[in-house]
Amino acid sequence: MRGTLRLEGWKEAWRDIFPIIENAAPEELKTLSDKLWQEHQYDEGEQDRIVLHVALTISPKDGRAWKAALSLDTSGAGWQSAMARAVSLTVAQAVGALMENRLPSGVQAAPHTIEEARIWLRGLKESGLEIKAENIKLPF
């Protein structure tokens, strides 16, 4: 389950945007993006924050359940906004994995092995984006 917390009224404020995004041609999306960028920029010094919590439970037929929860709480401002850092540092991990032949080329949703995920999490932590693990019970 993934959720996003928004300020009250967010959905109503953006209700006219959603149909445009769903049906627009690429050049219209560029125009809309430029317009939204101008109208909704952060103020000088304004911060953003990412609070993310992911909890997974895997229950294979053999009964050996695996549970893990990971959480991130980070903030930033300006060119080092929380969103920019979280995205760019994760992309950097993917690029590193590609360069070292640990990840096949092409579009990848996430690392495909536990060891690769651990490498990425260590790399994110070393870059200042710490993701905390909670209640991890591995079957091995």
Same domain, 34 and 56: no
Same domain, 89 and 124: yes
Nearest to 122 by CA among 103, 97, 98: 97
Same domain, 33 and 78: no
CB distance 88 to 94 below 8 Å:
no
Encode pLDDT of 64-90 as tens digits.
Answer: 777 788 899 999 888 888 988 999 999
Average pLDDT over residues 118-128: 92
Same domain, 98 and 35: no
Residue 65 sits in which domain range? 47-137
| Dist. CA 124–CA 133, nearest whole Å | 13
Residues near 53 by Cβ (< 8 Å), separated by ≥ 6? 69, 70, 71, 72
Encode pLDDT of 2-59 as tens digits.
Answer: 456 677 888 888 888 888 888 888 888 899 889 988 988 888 888 888 888 888 887 7
Task: List, as one string, the DSSP characters of 41-70.
Answer: PPPTT-EEEEEEEEEEEE--TTS--EEEEE
User: In the 8-state DSSP scheme, what is residue 127?
Assistant: T
Cross-strand pairs, 73: 51
CB distance 71 to 53 below 8 Å:
yes
Amino acid at 36: L
pLDDT of residue 5: 67
pLDDT of residue 139: 45
Number of domains in the chain: 2
Same domain, 54 and 121: yes
Same domain, 69 and 27: no
pTM above 0.75, yes or no: no
